[in-house]
Structure 1
Amino acid sequence: MLSIISTLASASTAANSTWSQLAIMERLLSNYDRTMRPGHTALDRGSEMISSTATVQDALSCIPPGHPDLVIIRPIVHHVHSIDQVGKTFKVQGTVTIYWDDWRLNYSALSCLDEVTLGSLRDTGGIWEPGVVTFESQQARYGGAHGALALLGEAVSIKRSGHVTWTRRFESTFGCPGMSYGQMPFDAQGCLITFGSFPYSAADVSVIFSEITKHAAAAISFSTGEWMVTVASVREVTVSDKSYARLCFKLERSSNNAEFSIIMSILFVCAAYAGFYVSPAAAPARIALAFLCFLMVLNNVTTLYARLPPLKSAQKGRVWISDFLFGCMIFNFVSLIQYAAVNYGITCRAAKKAALAAAKEAKEAQEEPPVNTSTVQIEVSPTDSHSQHRRLRPAWYKKWDPSVLADLDIVFRWLFPIAFIIFISIMFGTISIYPPGSTCDFEARPD
């Protein structure tokens, strides 16, 4: 019996609490203008004075200027993901809580409730809100939104003093157009998220971060894909008569994908270098080795360009890892051309040896004594086709013996690694001259 009475009492209390909230909001909004911000309190009181004063001029002289409303932002980031290097965007999931004071919602004389808690801003019946947006957002879903942009998760609470707390979940795609990949894979990108009032200027609404956000921002860290995401800093600025609270995300490349491509490209060049120790007679092995190494590095270059936006040929569009992989590809291509030169040198050397042997046989035949027979001796001189062929060659070719190319392997066994070590040293020593990643410009006007 007691449990039944307790249940009924609890239900009755809940009903009264709900009715009290509805009654409070109905009473508060009976003469409420949602188009007027709370900071116009003095102006509103001045309008009441007009009806009770003798002249309008006297009343207006008593109206002090309105003060800006203070709006406090507390964003909580749950996850940062889907960082798109081509589109220069990233996605953020979290909640954002907005605080402000509205003296018109003070119900201390109406009820003993500590606060009125409602499921959405629409449930309040239409109170003023500061119109806070994130300017870099390209596509967003919010708690309390309509249609395809709707997302579950919204709450509004109003304290007896008129202090309003509005919390919403959000999932937004933010643009970071300043991303620069010149020093990839050793780059870091700075991307801003700007909170500000869209309809109001800094003279009407001042937007700041909560103290919790300011102190806890440095502890925010996420690992997503190949990136490590941290909050570098937060700042409140006024730009072009607008008040902004800006959050700077720092995106640092932390995966081993790019480093693995660099290491593999170096190993492919080393494999191509090993071909200089393979006998030139093993033509299929040397050609296959050099050609496969070239194709593997070319594949790395193609994969890299697929992950980047279209790059300009100007210095601004240079990417370090692209130049490094391209250099490795050139070294592999040189090893392929080198074998063609060696093979040509071997062919020329063989032809030279054959020509010398033929000339020696002809000389020996001329030095043999003639045989006395009744048969008429006819002396036939050897054809000098080789001499005729040499006369058709240019002068520089006559002075240079192409058969020396057969010994090119010996030269490349020393020259190739020295040149490659110099190339690697130059590339790693010039990383700083490539365009750095983007930075957060807090004083820039958001688009």
Structure 2
Amino acid sequence: MDKYSIFVYIFIFGYCRSREMFEQDRIRRDITAYLLNENRYDATIVPELDEDFPTNVTVQILIRNMHSINEVAMEYSVGIYLRMWWRDTRLDYREITNTTYLQKLELDTRQIDKVWQPNIYFDNEKQAFVHKVTTTNRLMHIYRDGTVVYSIRLSLTMSCTMSLHYYPFDAQTCPLVIQSFCYTTDNIRLQWHGTNPVKISKLQMPQYALLEDETETSSYDLEYEETGTFSTLEVELSLSRKIGYYVLQVFTPCIFLVVLSWVSFWVDPDAVPARVSLGVLCVLTMTTQSAVVHQSLPPVSYVKAIDVWMFVCLFFVFASLLEFACVNVILQKKVDSEEKKTFEASTKTQREKALEVDRISMYLFPSTFIVFAFIFFMVSGLA
């Protein structure tokens, strides 16, 4: 075959291929225009309105990111893809064309509003928006049998009632509730996707870990006395708090402060300014540390695990200061007895008694604190 014949063959093949693609595009445009013609299709009417059964809407959620989990406001923010499937027999185009290549119609974002939608909303949503960069992030495909696939990208701020009894060793369960705002169970039924109702991308959150294995879904009917019964879907997201930050920023500094307060037991009892200054400094620092920790928490009425920890640490620091007060009182009794020239017939002087109190404290305080810390972390960690 010469070069001229090859050129002619390529030209003919390209021409035929371009005509075929043009014909496919024309057929796709014609079918779409026919299906969405306002004279035959009303997007305000439920697909099975004339039938005795509701339209089944299958729902799937893809969680892309999760952030801003706020204990004070009792809320969390999440970015999702909401995907839905339903069948609208009015959009069945199998009898219109017998072309096998045209398995689905991909609608432009401006055409999506011409198709009926189940009017989904989130019951516990506080704030939400649809992403619009560079255009509104929505997708809709219509398959040959009238099955509609709809996907939309959303960012949501959801309310979540949190229990902080074991904070910061707590685990939270935050719900995400889906309903149709205007269609009762007479018109639509919501159901979770059979195999993957909730898909979670690999997330990296600074304070929490999202436990995919413990994510639970449920479906039920919710009845409102004034408006009727609505099909409802709910997913409970299980969040486990990471304690690395609190170990470094809360527990370790508190332990250091408590240990620092014990240094006074090794300081000579006569060095009053040194022991008083050390005790007062530890108490004030411990109080400041407690205030900083509680700034990021809501003023709940019950006792939290962190409250127990901070109180006991403050108690140990304050007890160290009180221990020196007792030692100083014992030393003061020695001075009074010397002035009165009344010595008791005892094997120990008052100074030796004071030093004995310090020696007992050297072992009593650390051992008691270690026992408390062991019990605290065992109980909180297993809760």
- TM-score tier, shorter chain, comes to 0.7 to 0.9
TM-fit CA distance, 1:170: 1.0
Structure 1 residues 272, 104: CA separation in 2 closer, same or farther (over 3 Å shift)?
same
Opposite residue 341 of structure 2, the aligned amino acid is: L
SS of equivalent residue, structure 1 residue 170: strand
**What is the match of residue 44 of structure 2?**
35
Q: Distance in 2 between matches of 1:225 and 1:299?
A: 24
Q: Which of 34, 39, 51 is the equivalent residue of 1:24? A: 34
**What is the match of residue 139 of structure 1?**
127
Q: Distance in 2 between matches of 1:329 and 1:123?
A: 66
TM-fit CA distance, 1:211: 2.1
SS of equivalent residue, structure 2 residue 335: helix
1:119 aligns with 2:108: yes
1:249 aligns with 2:233: no
What is the CA deviation profile of residues 137-156 of structure 1, one whole-angstrom value per residue up to 9, with x for unaligned ones? 21111257xxxx99741111
TM-fit CA distance, 1:21: 4.7
Structure 1 residues 26, 425: CA separation in 2 closer, same or farther (over 3 Å shift)?
closer
**What is the match of residue 420 of structure 1?**
369
SS of equivalent residue, structure 1 residue 40: coil
Please say if residues 189 and 231 of structure 2, whose CA atoms lie closer than 8 Å, have aligned partners that are also in contact. Answer: yes
TM-fit CA distance, 1:86: 0.9
Structure 1 residues 125, 89: CA separation in 2 closer, same or farther (over 3 Å shift)?
closer
TM-fit CA distance, 1:245: 1.9
Q: Distance in 1 between matches of 2:274 and 2:296?
A: 34
Q: Which of 304, 309, 312 is the equivalent residue of 2:293? A: 304
Opposite residue 41 of structure 1, the aligned amino acid is: D
Structure 1 residues 246, 19: CA separation in 2 closer, same or farther (over 3 Å shift)?
same
**What is the match of residue 213 of structure 1?**
196
SS of equivalent residue, structure 2 residue 369: helix
Please say if residues 184 and 321 of structure 1, whose CA atoms lie closer than 8 Å, have aligned partners that are also in contact. Answer: yes
Please say if residues 54 and 186 of structure 2, whose CA atoms lie closer than 8 Å, have aligned partners that are also in contact. Answer: yes
Opposite residue 26 of structure 2, the aligned amino acid is: N
**What is the match of residue 85 of structure 2?**
99
Structure 1 residues 425, 19: CA separation in 2 closer, same or farther (over 3 Å shift)?
closer
**Corresponding residue pairs, total:** 356
1:410 aligns with 2:366: no
Q: Distance in 2 between matches of 1:78 and 1:173?
A: 14
What is the CA deviation profile of residues 310-358 of structure 1, one whole-angstrom value per residue up to 9, with x for unaligned ones? 122xxxx11011111111111101212322333343344224323329x
Structure 1 residues 9, 284: CA separation in 2 closer, same or farther (over 3 Å shift)?
farther
TM-fit CA distance, 1:194: 1.4
Q: Distance in 2 between matches of 1:151 and 1:194?
A: 27
What is the CA deviation profile of residues 3-42 of structure 1, one whole-angstrom value per residue up to 9, with x for unaligned ones? 9857964884575256325423344x32223332112233
Q: What do you get for the CA RMSD once the two structures are aligned?
A: 3.2
Q: Which of 140, 145, 157 is the equivalent residue of 1:161? A: 145
1:354 aligns with 2:339: yes
Asked which structure has the greater CA Rg, the reply is: 1
Please say if residues 166 and 306 of structure 2, whose CA atoms lie closer than 8 Å, have aligned partners that are also in contact. Answer: yes
**Identity, % of aligned positions:** 23
Q: Distance in 2 between matches of 1:7 and 1:295?
A: 83
Structure 1: unaligned runs, 5 residues or longer: 43-65, 360-400, 437-447
Q: Distance in 2 between matches of 1:97 and 1:125?
A: 16
**What is the match of residue 318 of structure 1?**
303
Structure 1 residues 35, 235: CA separation in 2 closer, same or farther (over 3 Å shift)?
same
Please say if residues 178 and 234 of structure 2, whose CA atoms lie closer than 8 Å, have aligned partners that are also in contact. Answer: yes
**What is the match of residue 226 of structure 2?**
none
Q: Report the TM-score when normalising by structure 2.
A: 0.81
TM-fit CA distance, 1:186: 1.7
Please say if residues 32 and 105 of structure 2, whose CA atoms lie closer than 8 Å, have aligned partners that are also in contact. Answer: no
Q: Distance in 2 between matches of 1:125 and 1:420?
A: 66
Q: Distance in 2 between matches of 1:103 and 1:319?
A: 56
Please say if residues 28 and 105 of structure 2, whose CA atoms lie closer than 8 Å, have aligned partners that are also in contact. Answer: no
Q: Distance in 1 between matches of 2:252 and 2:278?
A: 18
Please say if residues 222 and 230 of structure 1, whose CA atoms lie closer than 8 Å, have aligned partners that are also in contact. Answer: no
Q: Distance in 2 between matches of 1:4 and 1:222?
A: 47
SS of equivalent residue, structure 1 residue 236: strand
Please say if residues 115 and 157 of structure 1, whose CA atoms lie closer than 8 Å, have aligned partners that are also in contact. Answer: yes
SS of equivalent residue, structure 2 residue 33: helix
**What is the match of residue 222 of structure 1?**
203
